[in-house]
Structure 1
């Protein structure tokens, strides 16, 4: 019985197992490296989806730092590594990570026109060929910009009167002017509408006379 042959075969099998395990480990490292890679921040602030893309990138950056960096790392230095020359201009005068993130939020997160958002939401009708599920998803998406909050019954009543007042008034011109306000109360909307109505319908006649 030749033990040398069997030992040689066993040794070869062990080497094959080691090679196979090493290849699997390398493949896993490659996959992990691709999964943990992060693109540089190169979002155009004027793009329609700039805010959404920025919030998603920031979330990815925070996950990336948590998964790959040691605690206590200088986050501002890490952040600068993932900015393009154009985006770095926004934060070049910042002194800390928190200040830089606040500045980038100012750049990418624009103030919402709640009045116009609610007008779009209330006015949205089901379109031809649109399923009920698609219509529902559209309403859910539009409602996110309406900034509905916990309010008293009286506050809710006033907001609803304001929204219906703006949405259903007959003058498109007056409605358009009112919708330019980011925030406006019921009384302010009424006063503005009366002023505009007078300017449009009565002031020209007064001037002629």
Structure 2
């Protein structure tokens, strides 16, 4: 049996093999089961409906797109030394596949460019990593998240100092005998 990546074009909802198939849904389900391996079958073994089985398989095996990371890959891709301009442009076009571009207003485009510049130009790799964990992200959220991640270590130091002072104060108080014992 083939892995799911190889058979996905055959079993997807818009597959010519299944969409032109005028057989009842039960026949489509049987065809689907015959195309998948035993390891994949375990996910749909108790499902009789073709559409439900496809929903389960898509949820398990198709990774959701991370638009932010896809756009980051696009804007940070540089031409390789041995790469022609034609090859470079083809790679750039291929990278746009998962970027999900859409018509936007001038203000939205400006905010998206600022967000991309923020992600690309921020000096902290930790902050960049945390921002790139988002699948979608607007400028305000990216800014708020970066600001929070930047200030968190400073606030943590403040908590540590306060906890140290409290611990010292508690030790000093514990060292003095209670008034009734004096």
Shift of 1:93: 2.1
- 2:100 corresponds to 1:147: yes
SS in 1 for 2:15: helix
**Count of paired positions:** 159
- 2:150 corresponds to 1:197: yes
- 2:91 corresponds to 1:115: no
SS in 2 for 1:110: coil
Shift of 1:208: 4.9
- 2:12 corresponds to 1:42: no
Indicate conservation of the 8 Å contact 2:11/2:18, yes or no. no
Structure 1 residues 190, 78: CA separation in 2 closer, same or farther (over 3 Å shift)? same
1:83-122 → structure 2 map (5 Å cutoff): 83-122=36-75
SS in 1 for 2:3: coil
User: Which has the higher Rg, Structure 1 or Structure 2?
Assistant: 1
State how far apart, in whole Å, the 1-side matches of 2:104 and 2:19 are.
Answer: 38
- Unaligned 5+ segments in structure 1 are 1-39, 44-49
- Unaligned 5+ segments in structure 2 are 163-182
Segment drifting more, 116-125 vs 88-97:
88-97
Shift of 1:55: 4.1
State how far apart, in whole Å, the 1-side matches of 2:98 and 2:37 are.
Answer: 30
TM-score, normalised via structure 2 length: 0.75
Across the aligned residues of Structure 1 and Structure 2, the Cα RMSD in angstroms comes to 2.6
1:1-209 → structure 2 map (5 Å cutoff): 40-43=1-4, 50=5, 53=6, 55-58=8-11, 62-65=15-18, 71-73=22-24, 74-200=27-153, 202-203=154-155, 206=158, 207-208=160-161
